[in-house]
């Protein structure tokens, strides 16, 4: 017998246990009185998990066609029953943090990482290297995973992945098959692609481990020019970064974004040693968990410096760019 869309399903045998998945599927709301028709409305705007409801304001939910204030309150209440929306001890949170994955290149924390760079310092080379290293088995039982690459500057080159795959002795075709690539043409298109990303992460839960955007600000600089459009640009940027943070936390996936440095006209007044600042202002700085700046050294040498991090001290490391991607520097 076909189940009507507005029928509430009480049988929970088909639902994933939270112990088996990092996120809870939004279909779990059926157990708490939410009908399938309303769940489909939530999915239509990219809300596919219970935590996604917690991360969305009541105002935004009410803007979804077909959801009244009363329905939104009922949905919020149901989500609250499935999630710990209150306080927890630091010990409990520490146990939760152990589920966060790690990567082998760059800042290792699987959260929102922003790479700040001068021209030709290796940011795209590092992005390509991460496409491969994220697929390799690592510490603490990490088995590797798929990658999504959003390219805003037309710098993605599959042949580079083949060269890097050779270095790590992994199959070319397998590496390329595990990277989903999209070219973004406007800042609006870049935002729209994030809806696809969230849907893909939900569809293949636990399979994708890394989202790369190279670079985050390129299209914003084109679409918004001059001081007259600066406020609108920063507002749109803040919305995108908020979306990235939610996707990262919701699906336990790393977000690796690159950005550019620009000359700071006011730096000369403060006698700074390096008169450059990252594009995007404080909004981008505050949204990033760990920021790493790159600068050129001699020849193919590059210097990476931890620019800002909540759990790592300021430090520098030297690396090199080779045919096999980012490698250790040789004396």
Neighbours of 197 (CB within 10 A): 24
Q: What is the pTM of this model?
A: 0.74
Reported as a pLDDT band with limits 50, 70 and 90, residue 24 is confident
pLDDT digits (tens, 9 = 90+) for 174-215: 999 999 999 999 999 999 999 899 989 998 988 999 999 988
Judge whether 103 and 292 are in contact, CB under 8 Å: no
Reported as a pLDDT band with limits 50, 70 and 90, residue 39 is very high
Judge whether 167 and 161 are in contact, CB under 8 Å: no
Determine the pLDDT at residue 295: 75
CA separation for the pair 32, 11 (Å, rounded): 11
For residue 36, pLDDT beyond 50: yes
User: What is the torsion angle, in degrees rounded to the nearest 10, for the CA atoms of residue 99, residue 105, residue 108 and residue 112?
Assistant: -90
Determine the pLDDT at residue 254: 87
For residue 20, pLDDT beyond 50: no
Determine the pLDDT at residue 107: 29
8-state DSSP, 109: B
Question: What does the pLDDT average to over 206-234?
Answer: 89
Structure tokens at 40: 């489909």
For residue 293, pLDDT beyond 50: yes
CA separation for the pair 57, 137 (Å, rounded): 38
Which among 151, 86, 139, 84 has a CA at the least distance from the CA of 108?
A: 139
Which among 199, 239, 202, 206 has a CA at the least distance from the CA of 44?
A: 199
3-class secondary-structure state, position 37: helix
Percentage of the chain lying above the pLDDT 70 cut: 75
Determine the pLDDT at residue 201: 92
Helix orientation angle between 230-251 and 187-203, rounded to the nearest 10 degrees: 10
Judge whether 251 and 50 are in contact, CB under 8 Å: no
Task: State the average pLDDT for the chain.
Answer: 78
């Amino acid at each position: 017998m076909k189940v009507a869309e507005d029928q509430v399903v009480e049988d929970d045998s088909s639902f994933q246990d939270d112990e088996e998945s990092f996120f809870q599927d939004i279909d779990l709301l059926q157990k708490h009185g939410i009908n399938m028709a309303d769940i489909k409305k939530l999915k239509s705007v990219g809300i596919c998990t219970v935590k996604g409801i917690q991360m969305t304001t009541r105002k935004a939910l009410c803007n979804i066609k077909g959801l009244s204030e009363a329905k939104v309150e009922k949905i919020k209440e149901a989500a609250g029953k499935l999630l710990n929306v209150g306080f927890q001890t630091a010990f409990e949170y520490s146990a939760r943090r152990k589920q966060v994955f790690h990567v082998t290149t760059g800042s290792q924390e699987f959260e929102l990482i922003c790479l700040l760079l001068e021209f030709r310092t290796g940011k795209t080379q590092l992005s390509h290297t991460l496409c491969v290293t994220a697929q390799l088995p690592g510490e603490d039982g990490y088995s590797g995973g798929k990658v999504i690459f959003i390219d805003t500057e037309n710098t993605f080159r599959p042949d580079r992945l083949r060269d890097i795959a050779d270095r790590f002795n992994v199959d070319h075709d397998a590496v390329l098959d595990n990277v989903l690539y999209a070219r973004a043409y406007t800042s609006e298109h870049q935002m729209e692609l994030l809806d696809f990303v969230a849907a893909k992460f939900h569809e293949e839960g636990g399979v994708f481990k890394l989202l790369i955007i190279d670079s985050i600000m390129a299209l914003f600089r084109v679409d918004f020019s001059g001081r007259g459009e600066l406020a609108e640009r920063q507002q749109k940027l803040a919305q995108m970064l908020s979306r990235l943070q939610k996707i990262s936390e919701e699906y336990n996936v790393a977000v690796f974004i690159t950005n550019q440095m620009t000359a700071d006209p006011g730096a000369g007044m403060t006698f700074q040693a390096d008169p450059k600042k990252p594009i995007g202002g404080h909004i981008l700085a505050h949204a990033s968990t760990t920021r790493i700046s790159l600068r050129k050294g001699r020849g193919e040498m590059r210097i990476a410096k931890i620019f800002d991090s909540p759990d790592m001290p300021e430090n520098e490391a030297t690396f090199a760019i080779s045919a096999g991607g980012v490698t250790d520097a040789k004396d």
